[in-house]
């Protein structure tokens, strides 16, 4: 295809130099593809623009690399991937219990020892250096050393990763009874479910109005936590102002995503499968951009030490109760808008039948853009609240960790149903938190939630609040 040349030319003179204006050409097919690629890169840059200013320098985690025949390594984390412990003193002992070296963990909870001799060594964590109420979970008998240490067999050329997970000091050990632990887990499950609901409702609205499964939606949660950290911790902004501004910034990214990417793709008639693949690519690009700009360590929005408020057997920080209240209020407002306003009625009409809604005079593009904006804002709000009250904060890959939980909530409640997404999120949150006390070890609790989803869909494929649809 030959490029067409637009009429223009001429010379002009500036500061004693003569410059020739080159002809302006219209882009050929290759040029349009290049422009489309540049557009996608620009969209990712727009999504991450707040982080370039707000993010502090990344801190590299300590890592030991074993050399064959010469060195062996012990690489570990105090805590776990989602709950690392900062400031823990980890001591390396030889086989005679003689101290070799002591390290203090940073925000990522990691430590690393390099050894030039194979043999049996012991790892000991100073209990006084752990946060109040936490202790190291005892390892299996085969790895138990004297005085609470953990035995590690080191071989040259190999790296060992001892398990140094933490738990409450009274867990199953003369503290709270099993019934009280269940009640505490239910409270934590409601907290997690409400935060998941903020994101899953937006995900459900996007699917209902466009039919698109947005795999990049969970990255809006990460973006909310990162922007909140930058505003409140790096810039020192007031927490409540930071929450409002984070929500607005994330909502703006949703608006521009639809304006710059999704609406043009819809107008070009791109299929839903192709658009879904675009969301996967956008998700991966956002994840590694988060890691590049902010780093791999946990980021927690910390503005003050919130006191723990105990109500019967339930002990949560005061901020946890506030976050749950904010989530309920916001979800209630979204429900009111969907049920009682003309915008909500138009949104439900577009979700039911976009063609009929357009024929009735509804501006479908305007409704869809509003849905993208609200969905991104809700996810951003969920992200900053998540960074405030859950675990030790938020990481570059938090979105990847909770993506399946969001899809599980949306599918469990019924695809395209906002109220179904709310119910599904509460159920998923409860299952995740209750799985631990009921015997599911570690991160297997997430698999339990997905297993329940599969079992329910075998019985009711449309989800709890979804409508059965005839196929064929």
Segment 362-404, tens digit of pLDDT: 999 999 999 999 999 999 999 999 999 876 678 888 998 899 8
Q: Is residue 56 part of a domain?
A: no
What is the tens place of the pLDDT at every residue in 138-161? 777 767 888 778 889 888 888 888
| Domain CATH code at residue 288 | 1.10.3470
Domain boundary among 168, 203, 231: 168
Asked if the structure places residue 159 within a domain, the reply is: yes
Q: What's the half-sphere exposure (Cβ side, CA atoms, 13 Å) at 134?
A: 19
What does the pLDDT read at residue 326?
96
Residues 91 and 201 in one domain: no
CATH number at residue 96: 2.60.40.10
- For 320, the domain range is 178-459
Is residue 439 assigned to a domain?
yes
Reduced to 3 DSSP states, what percent helix, strand and coil does the chain have, rounded to the nearest 5?
55, 15, 30
What's the burial of 379, exposed, middle or buried (CB within 10 Å: 0-12/13-18/19+)? buried
In the block, tokens 């919130």 appear at: 306
d(CA 392, CA 107): 9
* pLDDT bucket at 12, cuts 50 / 70 / 90: very low
Last residue of one domain, picked from the residues 148, 168, 188: 168
Q: Which residues are 125's β-sheet partners?
A: 90
Q: Contact 391/188 with Cβ under 8 angstroms? A: no
Total of domains in the chain: 2
Does residue 433 share a domain with residue 308? yes
Provide the mean pLDDT of the chain: 81
Same domain, 244 and 298: yes
Cα separation, 199 vs 379, whole angstroms: 4
CA 151 vs CA 344, 402, 426: distances in Å: 61, 34, 41
Say whether both 358 and 282 belong to one domain.
yes
Q: Are residues 234 and 368 in the same domain?
A: yes
End-of-domain residue from the set 107, 136, 168: 168
Q: Helix, strand or coil for residue 392?
A: coil
User: Do 253 and 128 reside in the same domain of the chain?
Assistant: no
Q: What is the pLDDT of residues 195-252, one digit of tens each?
A: 999 999 999 999 999 999 999 999 999 999 999 999 998 898 999 999 999 999 999 9
Do the domain assignments include residue 57? no
Let me know whether 255 and 223 are in one domain.
Answer: yes
In this structure, are 333 and 370 located in the same domain? yes
Determine, yes or no, domain membership for 4. Answer: no
Conformational region of residue 131, where left means phi above 0, alpha means psi within -120 to 50, and beta covers everything else: beta
**Full-model pTM:** 0.67
pLDDT band at residue 31 using 50, 70 and 90 as cut-offs = low
Q: Is residue 23 part of a domain?
A: no
Residue 331 lies in a domain: yes
């Amino acid at each position: 295809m030959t490029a067409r040349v637009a009429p223009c030319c001429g010379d002009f003179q500036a500061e004693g130099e003569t410059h020739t204006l080159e002809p302006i050409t219209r882009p050929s097919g290759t040029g349009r593809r290049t422009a489309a690629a540049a557009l996608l890169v620009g969209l990712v840059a727009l999504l991450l623009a707040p982080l370039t200013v707000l993010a502090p320098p990344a801190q590299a985690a300590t890592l030991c690399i074993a050399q064959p025949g010469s060195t062996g390594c012990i690489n570990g984390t105090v805590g776990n991937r989602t709950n690392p412990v900062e400031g823990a003193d980890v001591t390396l002992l030889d086989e005679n219990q003689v101290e070799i070296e002591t390290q203090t963990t940073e925000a990522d909870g990691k430590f690393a020892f390099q050894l030039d001799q194979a043999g049996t060594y012991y790892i000991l964590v100073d209990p006084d250096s752990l946060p109040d109420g936490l202790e190291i979970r005892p390892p299996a008998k085969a790895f138990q050393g004297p005085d609470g240490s953990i035995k590690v067999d080191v071989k040259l050329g190999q790296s060992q990763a001892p398990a140094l997970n933490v738990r409450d000091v009274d867990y199953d050990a003369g503290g709270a009874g099993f019934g009280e632990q269940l009640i505490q887990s239910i409270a934590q499950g409601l907290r997690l479910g409400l935060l998941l609901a903020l994101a899953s409702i937006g995900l459900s609205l996007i699917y209902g109005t466009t039919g698109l499964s947005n795999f990049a939606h969970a990255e809006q949660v990460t973006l909310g936590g990162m922007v909140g950290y930058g505003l409140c911790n790096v810039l020192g902004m007031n927490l409540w102002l930071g929450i409002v501004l984070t929500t607005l910034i994330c909502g703006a990214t949703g608006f521009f995503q639809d304006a710059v990417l999704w609406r043009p793709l819809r107008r070009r008639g791109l299929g839903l499968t192709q658009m879904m693949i675009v969301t996967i690519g956008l998700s991966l690009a956002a994840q590694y951009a988060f890691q590049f700009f902010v780093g791999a360590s946990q980021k927690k929005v910390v503005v003050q030490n919130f006191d723990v408020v105990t109500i019967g057997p339930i002990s949560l920080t005061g901020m946890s109760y506030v976050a749950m209240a904010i989530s309920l209020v916001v979800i209630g407002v979204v429900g009111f808008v969907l049920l009682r306003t003309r915008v909500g009625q138009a949104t439900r009409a577009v979700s039911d039948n976009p063609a009929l809604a357009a024929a009735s005079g509804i501006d479908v593009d305007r409704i869809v853009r509003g849905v993208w904006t609200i969905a991104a804002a809700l996810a951003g709000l969920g992200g900053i609240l998540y960074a405030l009250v859950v675990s030790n904060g938020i990481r570059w890959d938090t979105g990847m960790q909770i993506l399946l939980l969001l899809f599980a909530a949306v599918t469990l409640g019924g695809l395209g149903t906002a109220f179904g997404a709310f119910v599904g999120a509460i159920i998923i949150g409860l299952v995740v938190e209750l799985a631990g006390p009921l015997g599911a070890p570690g991160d297997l609790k997430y698999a339990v939630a997905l297993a329940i989803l599969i079992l329910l869909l075998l019985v009711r494929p449309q989800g709890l609040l979804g409508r059965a649809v005839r196929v064929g």
